[in-house]
């Protein structure tokens, strides 16, 4: 491999200074003239029929410009990424606490929020459902006309009856994981301006501005081209910003008052009304031979998707596909039920179903090892997927699986090292590990294209028109590094222009651990085109045969070895009205011949990332407190684009996994209120993350990826919680089957 | 002084184990049969006329037993410690955000809170007032029939015109301090049971159960003797639990449903609807001679007392009396205005006005020293009150003032030591100090008696019937130590029985830095009686002349030196139906000849505690962050009863002062909502308190106190914030005039 220009280095993110100094413009920071403020009147109950909404008093309140209800919506009343089941404003039924019922537009934020309290809503309350199993009972009240079961996925492979008959040991257990908030720093917000020419400009903090554009247009009955969506700086998303509700409400308000309106959710509103990670209840039955070989798995997952579908059905796909973890299990019977309840809506969140399944399967694997008296790493080694293995979806796993045995070797070494460390006084130490599998991409049969544009600038630098938003994770940096590498230019000479649906190519939604992969592929392709364009122009302008010219590191090289700086060519081409720019589209590959076709839409996924994490914990056996002192994270990234970016993803993902393991729980409190502030929703702090954190980054090139790269954004999360749970069991012998592992469960 | 038995020692609080293990029964922990749960429907607006309250939907909601409104109250609709201006449930006017409008009684807490959201309230909103100066303008809306000015205090002494004419330097400035929440761990709660015999038993977490008894009885139109109030364990109060609202609501509910009802405020409700420390705006004008001698002070304080009086008028007294700090100022013109607004109600909170005034005056003193080029400690030394000085209220200060020069000596030493410490890298260090004055007692003309009862137990131990609640500060321990000392018995042989208004003597409200003093005095007196009773009984039973007997350390001593254990006498007396117990009442002393009589009720205070605190800070000049690295607290306590108790009061008070200085602020947010969670209301943590904390405890006996003791509960707070502000100015030259000192104010 020739020495790279920028790949694998830790470049400085170009947005770093702005974010650190506060100069970065998030939506809430954008100052426009004559801005009005919106506030939603939100339901204080979980479930009920709306008998009436009286806005008269609110309308008359000081500073109020307009109070809107569902009746004022000119277009489609409902929206939704997969199912149009979510009212922009509830009109007939309240399905969850905090659901927006009316929208106040006022001259100040305080006036808007105060007037929202003056909207008079009459309900007929209905007993709320918070349990997906109860919500499937025949007498349960129905949230949506289609019934409470929104999706059911079943995968049967091999012969489950024979599998269990062959099993020498069978373990059965149940596991549960709680409702999790993405807890990004920037709450949801949006700003919309109605323009005199009948168009709307909307600034969003969103993972999918092009979807927002369509959903806004549908709600307002406008042609999509009249809606311009601009991506502002995003302060974290983790999946929670694959939701158009704020963009729709703000646009609706701006349209209604023919003005400019800003909405910024309070933290409480963010907790109540934006997508969360699904709580799931699992029933597992795993059969193995005495040597540890898995022979059969039966699993049922009940997912509480809350009041609206959001991306719940798609999450159900990944839950199902990851129920068996990174293992080859010949006989499976897997079932996932995605169920409407009156919980807050659950949708996309980092890991997208995989963290849930992994807590169950990776705990089961350790339990099976214990039952058999075998080393849990050894048991994993006997069962991991190998290159060429047929997964239960029918997908044949590629060379990516070669990272698994290597990861186990590293894990074994880390475990040995950790096990030798004596515990602190009064504490009991333990070491545990878990594997993680995360698919990339949206799944078969889901349209998944991404387009980017590259442009030579007059100064010889490159401008990327990125078609997908950087949600804070560093997509821009990765794109710039890939483009720089592909264009043989230093990183500093590549810049990115923010997404605007009226001028940017459609890069599709930022999600599913596939942005470096997809955007990178488009940029490699576009760069190739751009270099060709350069040589064409150089040939024309220098009047030489194109074959006699070559491109190298910002220069056109003549046959004689002469070097002409590209900006000369760019400038002369510009004089002739020629702009050098290229666009490339990449479609996520699901080759028909190798992609099983019998499964429902969104299934199967065909490309995977694997990883392993090893945790050392110290448990205070009297208090039940747990400190994760050491963590080794082993992840295959195909090829490192940004070293600091990959490290950040791993460390951030593991911290999120640690919060999942020990602290986070958006619980329903005794007073019937969801946990809705960071006083009760406990995120891990810098004090909680392990003092020793080691990243072992593997690079097994993904053939279809840019420079061999694949995703690392999500696979860093699922192993952490089961590794910690396994370490706790190793320390004190207590097997935890529900997250979070609060100290009450350990004493 | 003979060696004491227990005084000055650090005994183990008898409630310590229960509190640490969780065995202590707070109201919320008490389990009764068939308990129902209450939840208030609370106003979401700040100010408005109530047009209608419709409870029909809430009444029909699942689990709801009864929904009550103001119309259901059988007795007095309003309550209040000083002014009956606070409706138990608002009926006609909403005066603050979070005001209770209706009360739902349901079979579960969740059902109660959900149904509370179903209460339909129609308002006509009124522009809210949050600024006490604006609330006094002629066009301001009026919160109460008596107008928005609830109290005005004026003290004029000397000749202010001549004073300023004589001044060689005059400084004028304004200061402001924010709304502060007492932020105790246990939110307000109450439990009430209607008994078949027509009586009500109420468990409260309250500083004044005897007042609760009267207020409950008045609200329900019951004779007070039918209401039994029991004091449960209290998880902190700091003044915020001198409020009967929860006790009244719970009792009202129990009375209405003829059952048992529990109310436990959420943290949010606690922020919204329980008394806070007043925000105050100060205008100061201080005149001095060039040598630093103060000659004139003109000061105006505008206090925002919020929607209801609570103890605001009484706080206004202390604000006024402490405007001049610990200084002798011959010519003063002081004015305090206590004003109704739509802010949360402000009332009693630790320091009771003194922390507010001290931030202003102690900053002014340093500013004056800087203006004159004098040492701020030296300026203080020239102006401090001395024994025999006449204060501007006309009170002649007693020997307590002798602690002031000694405190300044210690402060000077601490300052020297702190100033020699080099700052951490990149930080700028500074040292500052402030004095503090806190009065004891409720003020002249306010009835202020306290009664306690002592009883010999059959085993020779002593039982205290404490008539005032221990709010967590350790009153019980102090009482037991004093009683033990007075009875010449070991601490272990004195125990306390909890307060029950149906059987306990009336010890009056726990507040005003006077509990050790008052309760101690009653116990010393009661002990004396009890010893006399013992000798009487011994004389009778032994058939000896009483003069031939004496009492010593649990024994009766005969003339011949024989020792009879008291339990012998107790047992034989009991056989004759005689129980040895005594009761004593102490009245806070305001001798008519030495207490000026021209002032309004509650003025003047005549007994004082003084102290000084010296802080070293390190400021990061780029970030504006402040770390208080060192603190020396010098406090005169008259006589230490419990060493650990006094140290705890000082360290806790200084931590509260540190929070006041740097973090705490119950602010009105941009969306018109009060800060109402600990995510935004930042309390100091263990990381924020100084790594070096030194207590210098002075013991200048208070002649009228038990064993010379006086109060230390509040004086520990007021010096901290100005000492820190003065230290910051010393470090970086920035003079801060408003709290909290957030980093934005320093860069």
Question: Which residue of A183, A672, A685, A744 to mutate against B (max B Cβ within 10 Å)?
Answer: A672
**Cβ B608 vs Cβ B438: under 8 Å:** yes
Residue A677 contacts B where some CB pair is shorter than 8 Å: yes
**Are residues A266 and B679, on separate chains, in Cβ contact within 8 Å?**
no
Whole-angstrom distance, CA of residue B470 vs CA of residue B428? 43
CATH code, domain with B529: 3.30.365.10
CA atoms within 13 A on the CB side of B733: 0
Q: Which chain A residues contact residue B265 at CB under 8 A?
A: none
**Burial (Cβ within 10 Å: 0-12, 13-18, ≥19) of residue B290:** exposed
Residue B271 lies in a domain: no
Q: Are residues B110 and B204 in the same domain?
A: yes
**Are residues B672 and A111, on separate chains, in Cβ contact within 8 Å?**
yes
Question: Which residue of A671, A677, A679, A687 to mutate against B (max B Cβ within 10 Å)?
Answer: A671
Q: Are residues A106 and A228 in the same domain?
A: yes
> pLDDT tens across A370-391, in order?
999 999 999 999 999 999 999 9
Residue B624 contacts A where some CB pair is shorter than 8 Å: no
E strand or H helix at B211, and its extent? helix B209-220
Residue B250 lies in a domain: yes
Residue A44 contacts B where some CB pair is shorter than 8 Å: yes
Residue B39 contacts A where some CB pair is shorter than 8 Å: yes
Handedness of CA A715, A717, A718, A723 (dihedral sign): positive
Chain B nearest CA to A422, separation (Å): 28
Q: Are residues A74 and A206 in the same domain?
A: yes
Residue B1 has pLDDT above 60, yes or no: no
Residue whose token pair is 């402040």: B626
**Are residues B125 and A62, on separate chains, in Cβ contact within 8 Å?**
yes
**Are residues B122 and A46, on separate chains, in Cβ contact within 8 Å?**
no
**Cβ A307 vs Cβ A344: under 8 Å:** yes
Residue B701 contacts A where some CB pair is shorter than 8 Å: no
Nearest beta carbon to residue B677 from set A60, A110, A679: A679
Nearest beta carbon to residue B45 from set A117, A123, A671: A117
Residue B677 contacts A where some CB pair is shorter than 8 Å: yes
Query: pLDDT value at position A288?
Result: 98
Q: Are residues A90 and A199 in the same domain?
A: yes
Residue B162 lies in a domain: no
Which residues fall within 8 angstroms of residue B736, CB to CB, at 6 or more apart? B363, B725, B728, B729, B745, B746
Residue range A207-232: mean pLDDT, rounded: 98
Residue A620 has pLDDT above 70, yes or no: yes
Chain B nearest CA to A654, separation (Å): 24
- Of all residues in chain B, the one with the smallest CA distance to A673 is B110
- Of all residues in chain B, the one with the smallest CA distance to A54 is B122
- Of all residues in chain A, the one with the smallest CA distance to B112 is A671
Helix (H, G, I), strand (E, B) or coil at A629: strand
**Are residues B45 and A127, on separate chains, in Cβ contact within 8 Å?**
no
Give the number of other Cβ atoms within 10 Å of residue A328's Cβ. Answer: 18
Chain A nearest CA to B183, separation (Å): 13
Residue B137 lies in a domain: no
**Are residues B670 and A44, on separate chains, in Cβ contact within 8 Å?**
no
Mean pLDDT, chain A, whole residue set? 97
> pLDDT tens across A464-499, in order?
999 999 999 999 999 999 999 999 999 999 999 999
Residue range A711-716: mean pLDDT, rounded: 97
Q: Are residues A200 and A103 in the same domain?
A: yes
Residue A180 lies in a domain: no
> pLDDT tens across A513-538, in order?
999 999 999 999 999 999 999 999 99
Q: Are residues B439 and B472 in the same domain?
A: no
Q: Which chain A residues contact residue B115 at CB under 8 A?
A: 125
Q: Which chain A residues contact residue B45 at CB under 8 A?
A: 114, 117-118
Query: pLDDT value at position A3?
Result: 84
Residue A1 has pLDDT above 90, yes or no: no
Q: Which chain B residues contact residue A672 at CB under 8 A?
A: 109-111, 113-114
Q: Are residues B106 and B228 in the same domain?
A: yes
**Are residues A672 and B124, on separate chains, in Cβ contact within 8 Å?**
no
Task: Read off φ and ψ for residue A297, nearest 5 degrees.
Answer: -140, 125
Nearest beta carbon to residue A62 from set B123, B127, B668: B127
Q: Put residue A684 in one of left, alpha, beta given phi > 0 → left and psi -120 to 50 → alpha.
A: beta
- State which of A233, A264, A295 marks the end of a domain: A264
> pLDDT tens across B491-546, in order?
999 999 999 999 999 999 999 999 999 999 999 999 999 999 999 999 999 999 99
Range of the domain at B488: 449-587
- The token pair that represents A26 in the structure block: 């998030």
**Cβ B45 vs Cβ B125: under 8 Å:** yes
**Are residues A125 and B114, on separate chains, in Cβ contact within 8 Å?**
yes
Q: Which chain B residues contact residue A267 at CB under 8 A?
A: 679
**Are residues A123 and B123, on separate chains, in Cβ contact within 8 Å?**
no
Chain B nearest CA to A664, separation (Å): 15
**Are residues A679 and B267, on separate chains, in Cβ contact within 8 Å?**
yes
- The residue among B418, B419, B390, B383 whose CA lies nearest residue B404 is B383
Residue range A297-324: mean pLDDT, rounded: 98
- The residue among B209, B186, B201 whose CA lies nearest residue B509 is B209
- pLDDT category at B679 given cuts 50, 70, 90 is very high
Query: pLDDT value at position A499?
Result: 96
- State which of B564, B587, B610 marks the end of a domain: B587
**Are residues B673 and A113, on separate chains, in Cβ contact within 8 Å?**
yes
Q: Encode burial over B646-671: b for 16+ CB neighbours within 10 A, e otherwise.
A: bbbbbbbbbbbbbbbbbbbbbebeeb
- Give percent above pLDDT 90 in chain A: 100
Q: Are residues A616 and A685 in the same domain?
A: yes
Residue B151 lies in a domain: no
**Are residues A123 and B118, on separate chains, in Cβ contact within 8 Å?**
yes
Residue range B447-457: mean pLDDT, rounded: 97
Q: Which chain B residues contact residue A121 at CB under 8 A?
A: 120
Residue B60 lies in a domain: yes
- The residue among A126, A159, A251, A248 whose CA lies nearest residue A199 is A251
Task: Read off φ and ψ for residue B159, nearest 5 degrees.
Answer: -130, 100
- pLDDT category at B2 given cuts 50, 70, 90 is low
Whole-angstrom distance, CA of residue A392 vs CA of residue A13? 41
Whole-angstrom distance, CA of residue B469 vs CA of residue B203? 12
Q: Are residues B633 and B678 in the same domain?
A: yes
Angle subtended at Cα A191 by Cα A511 and Cα A447, rounded to the nearest 5 degrees: 30
Residue B46 contacts A where some CB pair is shorter than 8 Å: yes
Residue A124 contacts B where some CB pair is shorter than 8 Å: yes
Residue B562 contacts A where some CB pair is shorter than 8 Å: no
CATH code, domain with B241: 3.90.1170.50
Question: Which residue of B35, B117, B669 to mutate against A (max A Cβ within 10 Å)?
Answer: B117
Q: Are residues B603 and B706 in the same domain?
A: yes
Q: Are residues A616 and A742 in the same domain?
A: yes
Helix (H, G, I), strand (E, B) or coil at A18: helix
Which residues fall within 8 angstroms of residue B602, CB to CB, at 6 or more apart? B313, B314, B317, B442, B443, B444, B445, B446
Residue A56 contacts B where some CB pair is shorter than 8 Å: no
- The token pair that represents B347 in the structure block: 């009332």
Residue A24 contacts B where some CB pair is shorter than 8 Å: no
E strand or H helix at A249, and its extent? helix A245-257
Q: Which chain B residues contact residue A44 at CB under 8 A?
A: 114, 117
Residue B652 lies in a domain: yes
Mean pLDDT, chain B, whole residue set? 97
Whole-angstrom distance, CA of residue B673 vs CA of residue A314? 37
Size of interface A-B (CB pairs under 8 A): 86
Q: How many domains does chain B have?
A: 3
**Are residues B125 and A114, on separate chains, in Cβ contact within 8 Å?**
yes
Helix (H, G, I), strand (E, B) or coil at A439: strand
**Are residues B672 and A114, on separate chains, in Cβ contact within 8 Å?**
yes
Query: pLDDT value at position A2?
Result: 64
**Cβ B95 vs Cβ B28: under 8 Å:** no
> pLDDT tens across A623-678, in order?
999 999 999 999 999 999 999 999 999 999 999 999 999 999 999 999 999 999 99
> pLDDT tens across B256-306, in order?
999 999 999 999 999 999 999 999 999 999 999 999 999 999 999 999 999
**Burial (Cβ within 10 Å: 0-12, 13-18, ≥19) of residue B625:** middle
- pLDDT category at B3 given cuts 50, 70, 90 is confident
**Burial (Cβ within 10 Å: 0-12, 13-18, ≥19) of residue A132:** buried
- The token pair that represents A324 in the structure block: 């068996």
- The residue among B272, B352, B277, B346 whose CA lies nearest residue B308 is B346
Residue A45 contacts B where some CB pair is shorter than 8 Å: yes
Q: Are residues B384 and B330 in the same domain?
A: yes
- Give percent above pLDDT 70 in chain B: 100
Whole-angstrom distance, CA of residue B549 vs CA of residue B539? 7
E strand or H helix at B288, and its extent? strand B280-288
- Of all residues in chain A, the one with the smallest CA distance to B57 is A124
Give the number of other Cβ atoms within 10 Å of residue A579's Cβ. Answer: 11
- Of all residues in chain A, the one with the smallest CA distance to B268 is A677
Whole-angstrom distance, CA of residue B520 vs CA of residue B514? 9
Q: Which chain A residues contact residue B266 at CB under 8 A?
A: 671, 673
> pLDDT tens across B322-336, in order?
999 999 999 999 999
**Are residues A114 and B46, on separate chains, in Cβ contact within 8 Å?**
yes
Residue A322 has pLDDT above 90, yes or no: yes
Packing angle, helices A376-383 and A354-372, rounded to 10: 110
Give the number of other Cβ atoms within 10 Å of residue A223's Cβ. Answer: 10
**Cβ B58 vs Cβ B104: under 8 Å:** yes
- State which of B587, B622, B637 marks the end of a domain: B587
**Are residues B46 and A111, on separate chains, in Cβ contact within 8 Å?**
no
**Are residues A671 and B110, on separate chains, in Cβ contact within 8 Å?**
yes
**Are residues A125 and B57, on separate chains, in Cβ contact within 8 Å?**
yes
Residue range A165-170: mean pLDDT, rounded: 98
Q: Which chain B residues contact residue A117 at CB under 8 A?
A: 43-45
Query: pLDDT value at position A729?
Result: 98
Task: Read off φ and ψ for residue B658, nearest 5 degrees.
Answer: -65, -40
Query: pLDDT value at position B211?
Result: 97
**Are residues B113 and A671, on separate chains, in Cβ contact within 8 Å?**
yes
């Amino acid at each position: 491999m020739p020495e790279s220009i920028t790949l694998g280095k830790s470049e400085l993110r170009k947005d770093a200074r702005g974010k650190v100094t506060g100069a970065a413009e998030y939506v809430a920071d954008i100052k426009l003239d004559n801005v009005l403020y919106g506030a939603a009147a939100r339901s204080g109950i979980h479930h009920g029929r709306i008998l009436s909404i009286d806005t008269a008093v609110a309308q008359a309140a000081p500073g109020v410009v307009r109070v809107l209800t569902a009746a004022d919506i000119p277009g489609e009343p409902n929206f939704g990424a997969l199912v149009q089941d979510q009212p922009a404003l509830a009109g007939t039924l309240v399905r969850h606490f905090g659901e927006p019922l009316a929208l106040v537009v006022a001259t100040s934020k305080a006036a808007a929020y105060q007037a929202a309290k003056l909207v008079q809503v009459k309900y007929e309350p209905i007993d709320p459902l918070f349990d997906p199993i109860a919500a499937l009972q025949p007498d349960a009240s129905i949230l949506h006309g289609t019934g409470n079961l929104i999706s059911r996925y079943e995968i049967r492979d091999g012969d489950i009856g024979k599998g269990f008959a062959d099993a020498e040991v069978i373990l059965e257990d149940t596991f549960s994981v709680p409702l999790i908030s993405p807890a990004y720093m920037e709450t949801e917000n949006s700003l919309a301006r109605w323009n005199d020419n009948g168009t709307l400009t909307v600034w969003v903090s969103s993972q999918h501005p092009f979807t927002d554009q369509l959903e806004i247009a549908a709600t307002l009955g406008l042609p999509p081209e009249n809606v311009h969506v601009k991506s502002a700086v995003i302060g974290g998303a983790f999946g929670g910003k694959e939701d158009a509700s704020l963009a729709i409400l703000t646009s609706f308000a701006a349209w209604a008052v023919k003005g400019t309106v800003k909405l910024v959710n309070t933290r409480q509103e963010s907790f109540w009304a934006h997508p969360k990670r699904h709580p799931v209840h699992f029933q597992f039955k795993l059969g193995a031979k005495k040597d540890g070989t898995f022979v059969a798995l039966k699993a049922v997952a009940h997912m509480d998707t809350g009041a609206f579908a959001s991306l719940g059905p798609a999450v159900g796909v990944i839950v199902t596909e990851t129920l068996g973890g990174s293992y080859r299990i010949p006989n499976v019977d897997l079932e996932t039920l995605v169920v409407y309840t009156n919980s807050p809506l659950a949708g996309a969140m980092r890991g997208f179903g995989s963290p849930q399944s992994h807590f169950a399967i990776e705990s089961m694997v350790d339990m099976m090892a214990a039952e058999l008296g075998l080393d849990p790493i050894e048991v994993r080694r006997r069962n991991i997927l190998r290159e060429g293995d047929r997964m239960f979806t029918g997908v044949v796993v590629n060379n990516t699986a070669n990272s698994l045995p290597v990861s186990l070797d590293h894990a074994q070494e880390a475990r040995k090292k950790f096990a030798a460390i004596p515990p602190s006084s009064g504490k009991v130490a333990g070491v545990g590990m878990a594997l993680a599998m995360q698919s990339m991409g949206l799944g078969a049969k889901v349209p998944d294209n991404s387009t980017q544009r590259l442009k030579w600038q007059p100064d010889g630098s490159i401008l990327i028109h990125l078609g997908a938003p950087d949600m804070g994770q560093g997509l821009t940096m990765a794109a710039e590094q890939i483009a720089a590498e592909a264009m043989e230019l230093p990183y500093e000479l590549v810049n990115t222009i923010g997404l605007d649906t009226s001028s940017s190519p459609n890069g599709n939604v930022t999600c599913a651990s596939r942005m470096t992969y997809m955007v990178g592929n488009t940029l490699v392709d576009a760069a190739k085109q751009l270099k060709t364009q350069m040589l064409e122009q150089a040939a024309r302008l220098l009047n030489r045969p194109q074959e006699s010219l070559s491109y190298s590191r910002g220069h056109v090289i003549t046959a004689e070895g002469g070097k002409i700086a590209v900006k000369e060519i760019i400038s002369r081409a510009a004089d002739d009205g020629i702009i050098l720019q290229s666009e490339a589209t990449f479609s996520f590959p699901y080759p028909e011949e190798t992609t099983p076709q019998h499964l429902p839409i969104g299934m199967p996924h065909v490309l995977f990332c694997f990883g392993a994490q090893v945790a050392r914990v110290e448990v205070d056996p009297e208090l039940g407190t747990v400190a994760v002192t050491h963590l080794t994270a082993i992840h295959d990234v195909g090829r490192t684009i940004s070293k600091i970016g990959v490290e950040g993803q791993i460390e951030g993902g593991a911290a999120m996994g640690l919060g999942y393991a020990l602290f986070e729980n958006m619980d329903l409190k005794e007073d019937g209120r969801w946990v809705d502030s960071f006083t009760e929703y406990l995120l891990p702090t810098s004090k909680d993350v392990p003092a020793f954190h080691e990243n072992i980054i593997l690079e097994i090139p993904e053939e279809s990826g840019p420079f061999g790269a694949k995703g690392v954004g999500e696979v860093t999360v699922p192993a952490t919680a089961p590794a910690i749970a396994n370490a706790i069991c190793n320390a004190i012998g207590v097997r935890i089957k529900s997250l979070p592992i609060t100290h009450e469960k350990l004493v």
